Amino acid sequence: MPAERSVAFAPGRVNLIGEHTDYNQGLALPFAIAAGVTVSAEPAPAGSPAAARVSAYARDLDERDEFALAAPARAPAWRAFVRGAVAELARAGFPLVGTRLEISGELPPGAGLSSSAALEVALCLALLALADADVVPPWPLARICSRVENEWVGAQTGLLDQLASLCGRERAAMRIDFRSGVIEPVALELGDWRLVTLDSGVVHTHAESGYNERRRECAQACEVLGISSLRDLDPTMLSALPAPLDARARHVLEENARVDAAVDALSRGDLPALGALLDASHASLRDLYEVSTPELEAAVVALRDGGAAGARLMGGGFGGSVLGLLPPGALAPAGALEVAPGAGARVLER
Ligand code: GLA
């Protein structure tokens, strides 16, 4: 029996550290933020022609979409997410019904706060709740969402953003191990310190940036070394790799180590050490992984000029936001947004 209405909310995320590690079976330390995307769903009237269709209204854009439930065709931009979510849930065996969807949110698209993942997660949760489906655990649900992104949007992104959105909790980041599947909360107690994000002003889409190319380079490095993922890399193997694969692999190796160093710094309450790790992560993303841009560099400089103890580009790079750690008394540049860990995605009504 479908429900009469469902409403789901999924937050965006900040990744404290551990960048371009998720698709390399590595480690990351993200948290969910307060801002996110809300999707409401109502069944289309039974017996009407609309019963076999999905209609969607994107409130913030004042745009609409409509397509056949049984065979969504491809479409660009936000419509790709809606059609992909419907198609991938059906493909995974969930019995969907004709639906009217409404989407609204507070996350700027392309700003590096994972508006895409928040949209995918909120769509899936609302559609599943409307279909009265059992709760799907985070890893399988994140995989369905990531298929939306891989197959329908064209970005070969990993599972970091979806898991962060799904598993967020108050006052904690999550240490995610993408090989073992273990997700552990890590208390994020900052006292008078603050974390802020600053938009570089460059909108990015992973489908069109160098993201997919980086992913291919990591796969190539594994092929050369005969290992199944860069998690199996040890430092002695780096010399066997040609440039730029050696640099890409070194970033992944050292970034995984920085995640655990950050967990350690947090457990000691050593926030200056956390700041130094953010700086080291940024240098590596700029020089070894080569995903920075002049605008991201300018945003990092603006944060450091204001007294940040550490700042780094966040997410896939090639645009989006930077993250800064501000000690007491440091000045956040104009436009910076304070961020703190909040609860994960949830069904608000069913
Ligand atoms: C984007 C992707 C994630 C992850 C990060 C880089 O946010 O969606 O899967 O790869 O880039 O860490």
Of the residues 15, 107, 116, 161, which should be mutated to test ligand 1's pocket, given the most ligand atoms within 8 Å of the CB? 161
Q: Which residues belong to the active site?
A: 161
Whole-angstrom distance, CA of residue 195 vs CA of residue 95: 42
Token output for 175: 């240490």
Whole-angstrom distance, CA of residue 87 vs CA of residue 273: 45
Query: pTM for the complete prediction?
Result: 0.96
Give the model confidence (pLDDT) of 69-123 as tens digits: 999 999 999 999 999 999 999 999 998 999 999 999 998 777 789 999 999 999 9
HSE of 124 in the Cβ direction (CA atoms, 13 Å)?
A: 37
Asked if residue 154 lies in contact with residue 207, where contact means CB atoms within 8 angstroms, the answer is yes
- pLDDT over 70 (residue 1): no
Whole-angstrom distance, CA of residue 304 vs CA of residue 325: 9
Specify which residues 8 forms β-bridges with: 39, 347
pLDDT at 203 (0 to 100): 83
Residue 139, helix vs strand vs coil:
helix
B/e letters for 58-72, b = 16+ CB within 10 Å, e = fewer, are beeeeeebebebeeb
Ligand 1: residues with CB < 6 A are 19-20, 22-23, 157-158, 160-161, 206, 315-316
316 CA distance to ligand 1 middle (Å)? 5
pLDDT at 343 (0 to 100): 98
Asked if residue 94 lies in contact with residue 133, where contact means CB atoms within 8 angstroms, the answer is yes
Determine the atom of ligand 1 nearest the C-alpha atom of 160: 9
Of all protein residues, the one whose alpha carbon is nearest to atom 1 of ligand 1 is 316
Determine the atom of ligand 1 nearest the C-alpha atom of 28: 12
Whole-angstrom distance, CA of residue 163 vs CA of residue 242: 33
223 CA distance to ligand 1 middle (Å)? 22
Give the model confidence (pLDDT) of 314-335 as tens digits: 999 999 999 999 999 999 999 9
Residue 57: how many CB atoms within 10 A of its CB? 16
Whole-angstrom distance, CA of residue 33 vs CA of residue 317: 19
Of the residues 22, 153, 211, which should be mutated to test ligand 1's pocket, given the most ligand atoms within 8 Å of the CB? 22
Give the model confidence (pLDDT) of 10-68 as tens digits: 999 999 999 999 999 999 999 999 999 999 999 998 888 888 999 999 999 999 999 99
